């Protein structure tokens, strides 16, 4: 079984961004959105108009500074590649989300990075916190629109 990553959050987190499961490249890199073609870190850099260095401690520091929690819906899977289509057909184990939500944090909205994350989260976890299905930052998504992300993060 392939393992996901530990969540990145603290008591001051206000936005929880959920992916589905780390890609092969991310698992090789050892951190979220490690594939150079994924738009995630570039999107955050543009939304906050701030450079994000490529090392893991800098990325974690950036997330904390901007009160963003980051996690994946799935923490364990027998997925062989990186496709969300294949992921939905694999054996999966979802994460524990309660520690990332109030009263442990200040999370007031959940942004799911793509339809797979949204469907898996809403099928497996119930909360009163608003949940938004965002366009995937994957380079494979032709419908990606940074303005959707900018509006969701800043409002």
pLDDT in tens, 94-130: 999 999 999 999 999 999 999 999 999 999 999 999 9
Parallel, antiparallel, or unpaired for β 68-72 and 15-19?
A: parallel
**Domain around 126:** 2-154
For the ranges 7-11, 80-84, 121-125, the maximum mean pLDDT occurs at: 7-11
The answer to whether residue 155 scores a pLDDT higher than 80 is no
The domain total for the chain is: 1
Measured in degrees and rounded to the nearest 5, phi and psi for residue 47 equal -60, -40
Measured in degrees and rounded to the nearest 5, phi and psi for residue 85 equal -60, -45
* CA-closest candidate to residue 34, choices 23, 44, 43, 48: 23
CATH code for the domain in which residue 37 is found = 3.40.470.10
């Amino acid at each position: 079984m392939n393992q996901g990553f530990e969540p990145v959050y603290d008591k001051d987190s206000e936005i929880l961004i959920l992916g589905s499961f780390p890609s092969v490249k991310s698992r090789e890199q050892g951190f979220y959105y490690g594939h150079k073609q994924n738009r995630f870190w570039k999107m955050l850099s543009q939304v906050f108009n701030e450079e994000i260095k490529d090392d893991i401690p800098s990325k974690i520091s950036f997330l904390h500074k901007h009160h963003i929690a980051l996690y994946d819906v799935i923490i364990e899977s027998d997925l062989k590649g990186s496709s969300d289509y294949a992921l939905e057909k694999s054996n999966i184990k979802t994460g524990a989300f309660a520690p990332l939500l109030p009263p442990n944090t200040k999370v007031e909205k959940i942004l799911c990075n793509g339809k797979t994350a949204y469907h898996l989260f809403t099928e497996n976890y119930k909360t009163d916190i608003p949940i938004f299905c965002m366009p995937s930052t994957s380079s494979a998504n032709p419908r990606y629109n940074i303005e959707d992300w900018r509006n969701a993060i800043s409002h």
